[in-house]
Amino acid sequence: MAAEHGEFDAVLAAADLAANPWDHTRGKPRYRIDTDLLQDLVRLPIADEATTQSGRLAKGIDAWVAHELRRAGFDPDDVWPRATRPRVLPRDVRLLMEKLPKTLSAEIARRLPALTSVAPSDARFLGRAYVKQVDVAMARWDRGPELLISTKAMTASFGKNVANRFEEAYGDAGNLRARYPLAGVGFLFVQRATILGEKDKAAFEKTVDMMRKLRDRGDGNGYNATCLLLLEWDDANPGESVRVLDHTTGPDDELSEGVPEDLGAPQFFASLIETVLEATPVSEHVHARGRYAGKELAVHEGE
């Protein structure tokens, strides 16, 4: 889940949540990701040469995925990791704190980070066969889990590690979907763009095939959505040269065809958001529905 230290907090605090991420100019709404924010978040660990084993790069990615769900209009505190500590905070605890006297609420807020049984640093969900730590989630006790997203990052040793990620991801999908069939379950995989080089072309082709085969084919198995993102940077100046490459990078970029459109981030978020909206009545997630529709709805939340 998100980092317990606050290295991403300032970046998230300055990020825009006001603009609607949906493009309504071409028929069906199309989701537009905040590429600049992702680059700003991963720039921090990459500049420090943090490896995927350290977890810092993955945590920056998790923070970005959670922010995209907040941009989509979902309740900011229902999406974990939250933008500030504690990263996981049940809605009912938050509502209780809002009703308490300010001094008491402030004292509880000060103590919460140490109360891991109330406000844990990561979210764990019981699946069909085992408890799974989920990197990004949206849940409430009266609804249960509505979004469960796993993220992975791989920056080297592609040929050796891709098969292992495939096996792990496939097992996690079956474990979670068997217990939460109405939830949107997604898998987002980030690789360094060096995988497009001649030496690792076979590993990239296997990755693309893997990401497609991990999806539900109509039998209730697999993920509702999968996504592949490529990050590019120059080792001589890693922090300032970070760039996200996907199919929207541009026709003049020699790497723009690296990620197929059906595995791009826009379709990933659109699919998961639509899964949640389709599985709930119109009086739930009203703000997110309004953003998706491109208009203010007459119904009010919880009516």
User: Is 58 among the domain residues?
Assistant: yes
8, two tokens? 């991403």
Contact status, residue 157 vs residue 165, Cβ threshold 8 Å: no
Distance in angstroms (rounded) separating the CA atoms of residues 152 and 55: 10
Residue 126 shares a structural domain with residue 142: yes
User: Is 210 among the domain residues?
Assistant: yes
How high does pLDDT run on average in the chain? 90
Residue 57 shares a structural domain with residue 143: yes
Q: Please tell me the total count of domains within the chain.
A: 2
User: Over the stretch 74-96, which tens digit does the pLDDT of each residue have?
Assistant: 999 899 999 988 888 888 888 88
Q: Indicate whether 249 pLDDT > 60.
A: no
Percent of the chain with pLDDT over 70: 93
User: Is 160 among the domain residues?
Assistant: yes
Residue 261 shares a structural domain with residue 197: yes
User: Over the stretch 175-184, which tens digit does the pLDDT of each residue have?
Assistant: 999 999 999 9
Contact status, residue 91 vs residue 78, Cβ threshold 8 Å: yes
DSSP structural state of residue 28: S
pLDDT band at 257; cut points 50, 70, 90: low
Residue 100 shares a structural domain with residue 169: no
User: Is 300 among the domain residues?
Assistant: no
User: Over the stretch 128-146, which tens digit does the pLDDT of each residue have?
Assistant: 999 999 999 999 988 899 9
SS3 of 94, please?
helix
29, two tokens? 């709404």
Residue 109 shares a structural domain with residue 255: no
Contacts of 83 by beta carbon, 8 Å cutoff, 6+ apart: 9, 12, 13, 63, 66, 67, 70, 76
Candidates 83, 51, 55; CA nearest to 67 is 83
Helix (H) or strand (E) holding 77: none
131, β-bridge pairs: 126
Supply the pLDDT for residue 256.
45
Residues of the domain holding 93: 88-120
User: Is 1 among the domain residues?
Assistant: no
User: Is 252 among the domain residues?
Assistant: yes
264, two tokens? 């791009």
Supply the pLDDT for residue 255.
43
Residue 44 shares a structural domain with residue 107: no
Q: What are the E-state strand segments in 117-234?
A: 123-126, 131-134, 136-140, 144-154, 184-192, 225-232
Residue 116 shares a structural domain with residue 130: no
Q: Indicate whether 208 pLDDT > 70.
A: yes
Q: Which amino acid is at 41?
A: L
